[in-house]
Structure 1
Amino acid sequence: MELTFLGTASAIPTRYRNHTAILVKVSNRMILLDCGEATQKQLMKAEISPMKIDDIYITHLHGDHILGLPGLIQSLAFRGRTRPLNIYGPKGIGELIDHIKHLGYCTMGYDLITHEILDDDIIIYQQNDFLVKARKMKHTVFDYAYKIEELRQPKFLRSKAIELGVPPGPLFGKLQAGNSVSIDGKVIEPEEVLGPPRKGVKFVFSGDTIPQESMIDFAKDVDLLIHEATFTGDIREKATENGHTVAEDAARIAKDANVEQLILTHLSNRYTDSKPLVDEARQVFKNTVYAKDLMTVVIENKKPVTIKKNK
């Protein structure tokens, strides 16, 4: 998987930080997590075509996470998009998209398919090699965290299949896909020629939330946890009042969840530098950085999470 942070600010953007958006490349799909104001300009800076986006997942309906949608949706129409765009989000996302369709006298040449998340801790999308799961967090409005997890097929035991009489060829593919085959009246089951389950890479994006014990379970053993840390601990009361997390508490969640890498985001404009939040978090969880706009992160199997320089 490859992630590009398009925006890392909280409610008020700054000269150096745009509103929240993260572009994820996973398998054959391109996913946008949240869509703050000016997301399409950030995509240009990152040299990523918005036409390639397949799905958008919105954590919650606060303006700094959704106000990029009208411009992006209309730009896609102006550029001649014809294939559908899926938009997932909490209750109200359907009504929001209906309003956007009627803004600006724009003719839509493609379908906007909305998916309202009404349950907690559910798989909202799955294909053969990855899934997306949602879990409710606690903010001042309905808010969901998302987990994107790679699904790796068990190793195909070629020699075992040949030993059981399966000739190399199309039958190998059927067994790998989980289907039984018949050889001279003998049925060969997939589990006879497949190795044990293999772990895939996975990451979690918290959305806006106060610290939640349920996040520890949701993010257990993930390669990467992207957790909001809007403030430092000296103003924890303000953070809680506004439905946010301080850096120390985000780090404690990362430590308890045994994640490999913690990336903090959603910086308040009261800070000109993220260093105080990183220093605070590293007192609890050493492997912590603060996201920067246009920072790219690569997650690969059996390798440390790689953080590349800004474009």
Structure 2
Amino acid sequence: MSARELVVLGTASQAPTRHRNHNGYLLRWDAHGLLFDPGEGTQRQMLLAGVAASAITRICLTHFHGDHCLGLPGVVQRLSLDRVARPVHAHYPASGQEWFDRLRHATPFHDVLDLHEHPITADGPVADDPHVEVRRLDHGIESYGYRVVEPDGRRMLPDRLAAAGIRGPAVRELQRTGSMHGVTLDQVSEPRPGQKAAFVMDTRLCDGVHALAAGVDLLVIESTFLDADADLAHAYGHLTAGQAGAVAARAGVGTLVLTHFSQRYPDPDRFGEEAAAAFGGEIVVARDLQRVPVPPRR
């Protein structure tokens, strides 16, 4: 199992279908599990995907339309039922505090979960470990997209370390100090760009979409409509598959994951075809219970 991967729990939009559950995405990021937009049925989808509730460390809601949050009560109660001992953090638009409270306490249960709430009020960083940023999107109600960012680092080069006679604990000391016995860190290593992933759900095209997508290795983005229905997409605050592809091309995305499909379209392959007209990289037309590895660093 990859240490960094996307587990797709649901790919439908407003109405689930026989083959597509409401939204739900778990991003495994080393020791962290970020659950995005748990729609109705997420708890069962996690079971089918082989994901334990204990894998969740953060819950990230983009907005409070039902297909993006109606699974929250079940997930929270399952975390409590399983007596997950460590804190779980929840991020959501502050304007939806009333709805979060109602979902959080939808029914009586033995609540032993240590849930830390982090209402979002503006663009910017919302978490440090891992580093998570948000940007405002353009939808019918307040909505934010998320961006997970690993800081840039350096990759140590074994042949150069050996030539310089640096080994064992001395390698860590060199990384800490930057130089040792006349050898600098730059001489025995090379830049290693940090990995990045972004989640862009219900929105029209806006500055926030492009800011979130810029340079990410993995872009999970809604493509509710096909291009022929672009007017409907704009009217309802959504993107088309072609627009999603154009965003990915402009942003230099590694892998593009299309999701949040309207039930009006019986052929999911058409979403990939329309996105490919603008984007020449890897495209995944997401299906329920699929696992998508975060691409290797570029």
Residues 160 and 49 (structure 1), Cα distance of their counterparts in 2 relative to 1, 3 Å cut: closer
| 8 Å CA contact 1:31, 1:54 repeated in 2 | yes
1:58 aligned to 53, 61, 69, which one?
61
For 1:190 and 1:87, locate their aligned partners in 2 and report how far apart those are by CA, in whole Å: 42
**Which of 52-61 and 208-217 deviates more?**
208-217
| 8 Å CA contact 1:94, 1:115 repeated in 2 | no
For 2:271 and 2:295, locate their aligned partners in 1 and report how far apart those are by CA, in whole Å: 27
| 8 Å CA contact 2:11, 2:23 repeated in 1 | yes
**Aligned-partner SS, 1:132:** strand
Pairing 1:246-265 to 2, within 5 Å after superposition:
246-265=240-259
| 8 Å CA contact 1:25, 1:31 repeated in 2 | yes
Aligned-pair identity in percent equals 33
| 8 Å CA contact 2:194, 2:297 repeated in 1 | no
Matched, 1:291 2:286: yes
Q: CA deviation at 1:31?
A: 1.2
Pairing 1:103-122 to 2, within 5 Å after superposition:
103-120=106-123, 122=124
1:47 is aligned to 50
**Aligned-partner SS, 2:292:** strand
1:308 is aligned to none
1:26 is aligned to 29
Q: Which amino acid counterpart does residue 265 of structure 1 have in structure 2?
A: T
For 1:192 and 1:292, locate their aligned partners in 2 and report how far apart those are by CA, in whole Å: 43
Residues 302 and 51 (structure 1), Cα distance of their counterparts in 2 relative to 1, 3 Å cut: closer
2:226 aligned to 204, 208, 232, which one?
232
2:127 is aligned to 125
Q: CA deviation at 1:156?
A: 4.7
Normalising by structure 1, report the TM-score.
0.83
Please list every run of 5 or more consecutive structure 1 residues that lacks an aligned counterpart in the other structure: 304-311
| 8 Å CA contact 2:125, 2:133 repeated in 1 | yes
Normalising by structure 2, report the TM-score.
0.87
For 1:145 and 1:151, locate their aligned partners in 2 and report how far apart those are by CA, in whole Å: 19
Matched, 1:203 2:202: no
Please list every run of 5 or more consecutive structure 2 residues that lacks an aligned counterpart in the other structure: none
